[in-house]
Amino acid sequence: MRKESGGVKMIKLGVNIDHIATLRQARRENVPSVVEAALVCEKAGAYGITVHLREDRRHIQDHDVYNLRKILKTKLNLEMAVANEILCVALDVKPDSVCIVPEKREELTTEGGLDVKNNKKNISNIVSKLQKAGIVVSIFIDADIEQVSACFEIGADAVELHTGKFSLLFKENGFSSIKCKSEFNKITETSKEVFKRKLILNAGHGLDYENVGQICKIQGMNEFNIGFSIISKAIFSGLQKAVFDMKKLIEQNSNL
Going by C-alpha positions, the residue among 63, 62, 96, 57 that lies closest to residue 78 is: 96
**Cα separation, 135 vs 216, whole angstroms:** 26
- Nearest-5° angle of CA 27, CA 31, CA 37? 130
Nearer to ligand PXP, 4 or 57 (CB): 57
Stretch that binds ligand PXP, among 31-39, 184-192, 198-206, 244-252 (CB under 6 A): 198-206
**Cα separation, 253 vs 41, whole angstroms:** 20
CB 180 within 8 A of CB 215: no
- Per the annotation, the verdict on 19 as an active-site residue is no
CB 44 within 8 A of CB 78: no
- Per the annotation, the verdict on 63 as an active-site residue is no
> With the CA atoms of 231, 96, 155 and 216 taken in that order, what torsion angle do they form, in degrees rounded to the nearest 10?
-40
**How far is CA 10 from each of CA 6, 91, 130, 155, 160, rounded to the nearest angstrom?**
13, 30, 27, 26, 17
Stretch that binds ligand PXP, among 35-43, 188-196, 201-209, 245-253 (CB under 6 A): 201-209
CB count within 10 Å of CB 199 equals 21
Nearer to ligand PXP, 40 or 101 (CB): 101
The beta strands (E) that lie in 53-186 are given as 75-80, 97-100, 136-141, 158-162
Nearer to ligand PXP, 95 or 204 (CB): 204
Nearer to ligand PXP, 93 or 159 (CB): 159
Going by C-alpha positions, the residue among 152, 157, 155 that lies closest to residue 197 is: 152
Site size toward ligand PXP, by CB under 6 A: 19
Residue 247 interacts with ligand PXP (CB under 6 A): yes or no: no
CB 194 within 8 A of CB 201: yes
Stretch that binds ligand PXP, among 3-11, 63-71, 204-212, 243-251 (CB under 6 A): 204-212
Selected from 12, 59, 165, 205, the binder of ligand PXP by CB under 6 A is 205
Say which of 52, 59, 162, 223 is annotated catalytic: 52
- Per the annotation, the verdict on 251 as an active-site residue is no
Say which of 19, 59, 162, 205 is annotated catalytic: 205
Say which of 79, 103, 160, 223 is annotated catalytic: 79
What residues form DSSP beta bridges with 224? 13, 203
Residue 157 interacts with ligand PXP (CB under 6 A): yes or no: no
Residue 79 interacts with ligand PXP (CB under 6 A): yes or no: yes
Nearer to ligand PXP, 42 or 223 (CB): 223
Question: Among residue numbers 42 through 61, which ones bind ligand PXP (CB under 6 A)?
Answer: 52
Stretch that binds ligand PXP, among 3-11, 169-177, 191-199, 222-230 (CB under 6 A): 222-230
Binding site for ligand PXP (CB under 6 A): 16, 18, 52, 79, 99, 101, 109-110, 140, 160, 204-207, 225-229
Active-site residue list: 52, 79, 205
